[in-house]
Amino acid sequence: MNKIILYLGLLSLGFVSCKSASVSRSNVGRHTGRESATVSVSERDKDVLKKYASKLEVQVNQLKTPELYRIIDQWIGVPYRNGGTSKKGVDCSGFVGIVYKAITNRILPRTTQDLRVAISVTNRLQEGDLVFFNYNGKTNSHVGIYLQNGKFVHASSVGGVIVSDLNSAHYKKVFSVGGPLKIGRLNQLIN
């Protein structure tokens, strides 16, 4: 039954756009009641963590949420598609929602504007926090997930799902705000 509900939920995400969809804010933090489980780090996960530690220029032990990097690795290179929520194409808020759903089993708001309302703004970004950007004169029109060392992952309209650097001239110029969800940081929400 849970698989059917999950499938229908993901299917419904495919019919909405990052910029135009609306999901009730009351969905933030909804949990299906699945029990928490201790996750061990497999050999494949160790390889993924080494890969991302190198890419982020940090030590492997600094990566606090192995599940995050496992999911990212499965989506890197997926092309951008406005309103997309599949490996055929995904948009920025769709990607964020997919990652959080896979790791925490929580459904996030579907639009960047609603995601922005769901965070607590901070100057000290941590792994899993959401980061927002202003494009084409629109405030908070793009969203990604902060990783480590100034790097973040997002579904870019130019490169698809990629890791980018907040400290690059481009992203410094368009960065707006960032922070954790008001209901808790990613590593606190893992089911």
Rounded to two decimals, the pTM is 0.80
Please report whether residue 16 resides in a domain.
no
Catalytic residue among 18, 31, 154, 170: 154
Number of separate domains in the chain? 1
> Which of 58, 122, 75, 55 lies closest to 131 in space, CA to CA?
122
- Residues 6 or more apart whose CB falls under 8 angstroms from that of 102 comprise 67, 71
92 given a catalytic annotation: yes
* DSSP symbol at 25: G
11: in domain? no
**What is the per-residue pLDDT for 40?**
56
Mean pLDDT in runs of 10 for the chain (191 residues)? 37 35 34 41 86 97 95 98 97 98 96 97 97 95 98 97 98 97 94 69
Sequence-distant (6+) residues with CB within 8 A of 178 are 119, 121, 122, 125, 129, 130, 131, 132, 146
9 inside domain: no
Is 112 inside any structural domain?
yes
Q: What is the pLDDT of residue 26?
A: 32
Q: In a 10 Å sphere around its CB, with 0-12 CB exposed, 13-18 middle and 19+ buried, how is residue 52 labelled? A: buried
Helix (H, G, I), strand (E, B) or coil at 35: coil
CB distance 189 to 104 below 8 Å:
yes
* Cα 186 from Cα 96, distance rounded (Å): 12
Q: Is residue 150 part of a domain?
A: yes
**In this predicted structure, what is the pLDDT of residue 165?**
98
Q: Identify whether 33 is part of a domain.
A: no
Pairing mode, strands 175-179 and 85-86: unpaired
- Nearest CA to 150 out of 159, 169, 140, 60 is that of 169
Give the integer Cα–Cα distance in Å for 35 and 31: 10
Cα dihedral 137, 138, 140, 142 in deg (nearest 10):
-90
18 labelled catalytic: no
Are 115 and 143 in contact, with CB atoms under 8 Å apart? Answer: yes
Q: Which domain holds residue 73?
A: 43-189
Domain contains 170? yes
Q: What are residue 20's phi and psi, to 5 degrees?
A: -120, -10
The yes-or-no answer on residue 170 being catalytic is no
Give 113-158 as a DSSP string: HHHHHTB---SS--TT-EEEEEETTEEEEEEEEE-STTEEEEEETT
Q: Is 65 a domain residue?
A: yes
Domain containing 127 — which CATH number? 3.90.1720.10
